[in-house]
Amino acid sequence: MTYGNWLSRAHDELTRAQARLPSDSAVTLDDVGATVVARQRVYARLVKLVELVVGGQPARADIDRGTVDVALRMQAGDHTTRLYLGLTAAARSDRQAAPATAPICRVGRHLESAAEAIAVAGEILAGHAPPAREPLTPEGVAIRAGAGRKAGLADLAVLTTDMLAIDAGLPEWLSGSHRLAYGAFETVADEARWTSNGHLTEVVHQLIADAGDAPSLLHLLEPPPVLAGRRAISDGASALHSLVATRDWMHRNPGEVRVMHLAKATQAALAVSALASPGAVGADWRSWSAAAHAAGQLHGTPPHGPAAAQTARELDLVTRWVRPGPPRPGHVTSRGSRLEAINKLAAVLPSLSEVLRVATQTAARNRHFFVLGRRQLERVPRSLVYHAVARWCVAQPDDEQVYRLRSTLAAVGASALASTPSHLPRAAPRLAKLAFAAPVDAEPSQQAKGTIDRAAREVLPRPSRHDHSRR
């Protein structure tokens, strides 16, 4: 999805939040606090978007609200600076943060979804033109040169107008939600009155008028490709270390796993299983091929944060080592040692499939997947021509694409369990715990080999007659 799609989604979520204000009140005081925090998060991320579009901070961010009010009233500075000062003052809160709970009422949920959409739009911009760094793409160079700045600021002004409309009804919503809400959040109600009744409204209308019919060049901006962060993997031990590290990170952070991780992990597993020995554990290339195809049909949010991006790069490096392409002239490799290293990678695939299956469920619950819905005909203005426009929607956990990926990953785990020797089933949970508890700097091949040898030597007790009777 493009930068414009995410801004449109944020606008829709804010419009729904405004429509829910008169009818959907919060029940508990914690729910009111979570909604207030979601509102503050929307303003804070709009501030970051202004910095990314402009290429830095147009003004100081530590100015108090009284000074900002004077600057807005006296029309000091250009419209961009005044918008930045107003958003910064609206994002600042003197009240302590509420408990880190998700909002329950629909007003808070819509505000939270809008904040997430604005954050993803900011990630797309930062991927092309990161703050305080050189642009990474030709699009980033154009953004730093001022391309699409007027229309980009007008888009942010529209979102600010949506928030001002919400703030206009927020004090009444607070008083009608909980008997203690208005007293506990009196400063928030005062801030909402200041933003909705102040001179910030004039600033946003002036920014929209200044843009006029300027083309929205940023709307079609897509996430940049993931660039390699280090040199390629050169040996099987490094490939095994990278695959184990990425698996352990996804196991510890299932909520940070995105579609890109699922797609790259299934592609790496498909390459390993296709080149491993036929009798290797986890080398079921047919099941991994179905899983890779199912992961490729999904779309979603890009990785958020440096750790998530590094995990995607590591999976790319593993795949490139497994599929190196034609040999270079004068480059000699040992086929036997390479096959042994790929078989060691295949031994990681059963636990990787379980990690990916859990991460798929978590991502579907967190609404990180998007599917292409039915196409709708839209008429071009001043023309009789209609175009079929694709409509994207948030994937539900029971959607066909999500179910297909989960079922194929479950099939991979089932085939791996069927190919496991008969003396290992009871040791499998213990092996998984030891694998995930392994330090990153440890040698995974030595540790896994010793653990499997100890499990193979373990004599399992035969079931007693009492156990047969209970069954």
The Cα-based distances of 262 to 5, 122, 272, 306, 416 in angstroms read 22, 23, 15, 17, 19
Q: How confident is the model at residue 174 (pLDDT cuts 50, 70, 90)?
A: confident
Higher-pLDDT residue of 311 and 215 is: 311
Distance (Å, whole) CA 153 – CA 52: 10
Instruction: Tell me what the pLDDT averaged over the chain comes to.
Output: 75
Torsion sign, CA atoms 351, 352, 355, 361: negative
pLDDT at 280 over 80: no
pLDDT at 434: 37
Average pLDDT of the segment spanning 415-431? 44
Q: Are 262 and 295 in contact (CB under 8 A)?
A: yes
Model confidence pTM above 0.85: no
pLDDT at 123: 87
One-letter amino acid for residue 467 of the chain: D
Strands (E), 214-264: none
pLDDT at 462: 45
Long-range CB contacts (within 8 A, 24+) of 338-342: 338/236, 339/275, 339/276, 339/277, 340/236, 341/235, 341/236, 341/237, 341/239, 341/240, 342/236, 342/272, 342/275, 342/276
Residue 141: Cβ-neighbour burial (10 angstroms; 0-12, 13-18, 19+)? middle
pLDDT at 471 over 80: no
pLDDT at 52 over 80: yes
pLDDT at 12: 92
pLDDT at 182: 62
Q: How confident is the model at residue 300 (pLDDT cuts 50, 70, 90)?
A: confident
Q: How confident is the model at residue 445 (pLDDT cuts 50, 70, 90)?
A: very low
